[in-house]
Amino acid sequence: MVTWMEQNQNRADGCDVVVVGAGLVGAAVAARLARAGFNTAVLDAQGVAGGATGRSAGMALTGLAGHYNWAVGAYGRQEARDVWALTIEGRERLIEAAGRLSVPIENTGSLALAIEDTEAHTLEESATLLQEDGFDVQFELGDPLGRGFRAALRHPADVTVDAGELTRSLLSSEDVSVHERAEVYDLEPERDSVRVWAQGRNVLCSAVVLAVNGYASLLDPYFTDKVAPTRSLIFATEPLDGILLEQPCCADYGYEYCRQLPDRRLLLGGWRRPQPSGQQQDQEPGLGDVMRDGLTRFASHYFPEVETRKADRWSGIMGFTPDGLPLVGRLPDLPQVYFAVGMGGRGLSWAFAIADRLMTLMLNDADPGILSAARLG
Ligand SMILES: Cc1cc2nc3c(=O)[nH]c(=O)nc-3n(C[C@H](O)[C@H](O)[C@H](O)COP(=O)(O)OP(=O)(O)OC[C@H]3O[C@@H](n4cnc5c(N)ncnc54)[C@H](O)[C@@H]3O)c2cc1C
């Protein structure tokens, strides 16, 4: 297949590439494109990092929310190992970028915590498999926090970062034009180019990258059965007197998470479990209340000394694929349109590895392997 670079790349009346979405993934892709010499514009419906990126808890963690033994069963041993290795590659590239841009990184490591015995067994089995596969993890039966968790799996090299700050720094460090409040509503083929129709402007370009995460199906029906928008909610307390958590933690198969920020505010977050089949998430009444109540129960059980009633709250939309892995590819009906969407709850560790795979697809037509959208038909 002819790559977009081989086609009509230097047009005077537009730009080479439009990246739709100014989250961490869009910024990582746009920075790579600009550094490779392509005239690149980024359009976002909100503002830079106005989506999941700027609302995230800032934890760059190894692997997926589902534990490793689950991943081995779901994807196969070699594939699970590749997925974990990719998130480590992404985390290391994030650390490098943050270093280059003077964005602070906290080298805290992280804990995955079991809330019941079955999950503790799952963590133990995962630890054995991970160690056999060469990953640096430590399993501990019992609760290193003394809060009633059953077991912990420590990833010593995980880090935290202000993902919004990193995204803004990335975009301002490169020669990229950024247009905020420019919602894209149509992509129209025009000879061998694409016209991008957005609020207040249209741009003719040789290629488009969709980095719109959980909003993908609003832009193209191709994503309807591939990326499910899923909400995550965070409580942020007032600054606490002391340090409750030295490292970020995930619990309950990753459905709940917590982190104490450098200013000592405690973040407690949770995301919605998949809906029963046939029920659309948006159709469920009182969804916000269900999430808020679940997170309040988690907080009062494990952090009873923390006042969540008056905590600040915010939420954001994540995009989940049926198998939990991001999707990288190009639209079958509009092959000048590439995409990297469906980052789930671990997009910070995926972003830079994904940007790399997307670039090699765009420049060399290289198969994105396990991330390829072809796997979902
Ligand atoms: C509350 C919360 C906490 C989280 N915590 C963590 C965490 O600690 N660690 C972690 O790894 N992950 C976390 N995540 C997930 C993580 O934030 C995402 O996986 C990651 O930010 C995805 O980045 P992205 O650039 O793909 O998407 P986003 O940051 O969502 O960016 C997509 C952008 O596309 C724009 N857009 C959408 N449609 C259009 C359109 N039609 N036209 C123009 N622009 C459009 C949106 O405005 C948005 O800015 C969290 C998510 C939430 C919601």
Q: Could you state, in order of their start, the residue ranges of all structural domains in the chain? A: 4-54+164-220+324-376, 67-75+100-157+226-320
CATH number for the segment(s) 4-54+164-220+324-376: 3.50.50.60
pLDDT band for position 292 (cuts 50, 70, 90): confident
Q: What is the dihedral of CA 181, 182, 185, 190, to 10 degrees?
A: 180
**CA–centroid distance, residue 118 to ligand 1 (Å):** 31
**% residues pLDDT > 90 (the chain):** 87
pLDDT on residue 307: 87
Look at 271 and 276; give whichever has higher pLDDT.
Answer: 271
Look at 11 and 97; give whichever has higher pLDDT.
Answer: 97
341's CB contacts (< 8 A; 6+ apart) are 210, 211, 212, 213, 214, 216, 223, 227, 319, 326, 327
pLDDT on residue 6: 46
pLDDT band for position 7 (cuts 50, 70, 90): very low
Are 21 and 51 spatial neighbours (Cβ–Cβ below 8 Å)? yes
130's CB contacts (< 8 A; 6+ apart) are 68, 84, 137
Architecture of domain 67-75+100-157+226-320: 2-Layer Sandwich (3.30)
pLDDT on residue 286: 55
Question: Cα(first)–Cα(last) distance of the chain, in Å?
Answer: 19
Ligand 1 proximal residues by C-beta, below 6 Å: 20-26, 43-46, 50-53, 55-59, 183-184, 211-213, 215, 219, 232, 234, 269, 315-316, 318, 343, 345-349
**CA–centroid distance, residue 321 to ligand 1 (Å):** 14
d(CA 60, CA 363): 28
pLDDT on residue 276: 44
pLDDT over 50 at 12, yes or no? no
pTM, rounded to two decimals = 0.94
